[in-house]
């Protein structure tokens, strides 16, 4: 005999779902006073925050890098391929390409060198690190500590001689500044890079952005042209050395000729020093000529190896400002607190039903 008992189902019908929704809606409506009061408190806090919150200034600098060495051949082919939407992956391995360059800008070494750069503020030459400390009013809290009160970050100071406390402070500044630093290339097809620096101080954002671009530019040019510059310096030293030897050999020839003036033609042995000195002059002349030629070629090669960094746009005052408006603060604060109160009320009811 078959069992005709109804089978229980865990599925909820649409009708039951709508009924549950009405119950929850009615419950929340019954608690409208709590939600409204919470929303008003949140709106008041949002308005207060809009007054307290300092505006954020963003300095933007754009530049382009041109490396003559990589400008032809394969580089041109890759550029042509990219214009048709093909990515052949030829630019991903360079030290200063793509994300590598962005990480170089954000590196602690570059940021700290920038912080120690000299700037002129109100007629005084100070470092960007000192300006950052003044803007954040750190020295007021340092006055009670003798070790911190005497700390100074002078422009172009030797980073390697910093104390442990100075290292710690520089680390804090680096972490804070990294949050407001952005380096990006708008398009892979365009070799223009933008640097964005955000700060609550307008002048600091401008100075830091420009100084960071200068530090990275100097580092980039130095690394790319270091080998060619070393070769040119060596050749210039060799040219100076051979020039000295050549001048000395010419002097010895003159002395030898003076000593053999009106000499008896039969005494040829007395002419040997003059002949040897003349050979030295000829040899040194040939070497000197070749070294001068190589030195000039090295100078040309250095110019080719030195990349061109062209600043396109610099940050101009007044900078772009982002500030939380009063209406926006009221709306966000009220909406957030009202939402939080609704969530708490829902969990409270669920907890009561379980008990």
At residue 91 the predicted structure's pLDDT band, cuts being 50, 70 and 90, is: very low
Of 175-179, 223-227, 287-291, which one has max mean pLDDT?
A: 175-179
At residue 78 the predicted structure's pLDDT band, cuts being 50, 70 and 90, is: very low
HEC string of the chain?
CCCCCCCCCCCCCHHHHHHHHHHHHHHHHHCHHHHHHHHHHHHHHHHHHHHHCCCEEEEEEEEEEECHHHCCCHHHHHHHHHHCCCCCCCCCCCCCCCHHHHHHHHCHHHHHHHHCCEEEECCEEEEHHHHHHHHCCHHHHHCCCHHHHCCCCCCCCCHHHCCHHHHHHHHHHHHHHHHCEEEEECCCCCCEEEEEEEECCHHHHHHHHHHHHHHHHHHHHHHHHHHHHHHHHHHHHHHHHHHHHHHHHHHHHHHHHHHCCCCCCCCHHHHHHHHHHHHHHHHHHHHHHHHHHHHHHHHHHHHHHCCEEEEEECCCCCCEEECCCHHHHHHHHHHHHHHHHHHHHHHHHHHHHHC
Per-residue pLDDT reduced to its tens digit, 102-150: 788 889 999 999 999 999 988 889 999 999 999 988 988 888 887 888 8
* Phi then psi dihedrals of residue 314, to 5 deg: -105, 155
CA distance 293 to 236: 11
At residue 99 the predicted structure's pLDDT band, cuts being 50, 70 and 90, is: low
Least confident of 88-92, 110-114, 178-182, 244-248: 88-92
Residue 188 has pLDDT above 90, yes or no: no
What pLDDT sits at residue 338? 87
- Percent with pLDDT over 90 in the chain: 16
What pLDDT sits at residue 2? 47
CA distance 157 to 159: 6
At residue 88 the predicted structure's pLDDT band, cuts being 50, 70 and 90, is: very low
What pLDDT sits at residue 89? 44
Residue 79 has pLDDT above 60, yes or no: no
Integer CA distances (angstroms), 5 to 2, 9, 228, 298, in order: 9, 13, 93, 99
Q: What is the rounded average pLDDT for all residues in the chain?
A: 79
CA distance 346 to 118: 58
Per-residue pLDDT reduced to its tens digit, 277-292: 778 788 888 888 888 8
- Percent with pLDDT over 70 in the chain: 79
Cβ neighbourhood burial of 318 (10 Å; 0-12, 13-18, 19+): exposed
Residue 36 has pLDDT above 70, yes or no: yes
Per-residue pLDDT reduced to its tens digit, 253-264: 777 666 665 555
> Among candidates 341, 344, 343, which has minimal Cα distance to 39?
341
What pLDDT sits at residue 168? 92
What pLDDT sits at residue 244? 85
What residues form DSSP beta bridges with 320? Answer: 58
Residue 246 has pLDDT above 70, yes or no: yes
Length of the chain: 355
Other CB atoms within 10 A of residue 349 CB: 15
Of 169-178, 214-223, 277-286, which one has max mean pLDDT?
A: 169-178
């Amino acid at each position: 005999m078959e069992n005709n008992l109804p089978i229980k189902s865990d599925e909820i019908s649409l009708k039951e779902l709508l009924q549950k929704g009405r119950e929850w809606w009615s419950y929340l409506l019954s608690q409208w006073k709590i939600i409204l009061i919470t929303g008003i408190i949140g709106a008041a806090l949002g308005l207060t925050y809009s007054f307290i919150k300092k505006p954020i200034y963003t300095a933007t600098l754009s530049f382009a890098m041109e490396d003559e060495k990589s400008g032809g051949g394969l580089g041109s082919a890759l550029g042509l391929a990219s214009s048709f939407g093909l990515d052949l992956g030829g630019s991903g391995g360079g030290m200063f390409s793509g994300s590598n360059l962005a990480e170089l800008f954000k590196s602690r070494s570059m940021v700290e060198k920038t912080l120690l750069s000299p700037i002129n503020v109100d007629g005084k030459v100070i470092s960007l690190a000192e300006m950052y400390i003044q803007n954040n009013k750190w020295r007021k809290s340092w006055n009670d500590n003798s070790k911190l009160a005497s700390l100074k970050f002078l422009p172009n100071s030797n980073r390697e001689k910093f104390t442990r406390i100075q290292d710690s402070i520089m680390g804090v500044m680096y972490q804070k500044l990294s949050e407001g630093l952005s380096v990006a290339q708008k398009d892979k097809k365009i070799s223009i890079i933008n640097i964005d620096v955000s700060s609550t101080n307008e002048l600091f954002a401008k100075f830091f952005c420009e100084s960071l671009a200068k530090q990275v530019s100097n580092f980039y040019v130095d690394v790319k042209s270091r080998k060619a510059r070393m070769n040119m310096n060596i050749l210039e030293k060799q040219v100076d050395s051979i020039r000295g030897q050549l001048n000395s050999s010419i002097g010895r020839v003159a002395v030898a000729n003076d000593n053999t003036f009106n000499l008896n033609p039969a005494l040829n042995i007395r002419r040997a020093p003059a002949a040897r000195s003349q050979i030295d002059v000829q040899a040194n002349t040939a070497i000197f000529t070749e070294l001068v030629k190589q030195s000039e070629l090295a100078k040309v090669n250095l110019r080719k190896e030195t990349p061109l960094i062209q600043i396109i746009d610099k940050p101009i005052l007044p900078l772009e400002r982002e500030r939380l408006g009063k209406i926006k603060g009221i709306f966000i604060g009220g909406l957030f607190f009202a939402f939080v109160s609704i969530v708490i009320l829902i969990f409270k009811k669920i907890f009561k039903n379980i008990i």
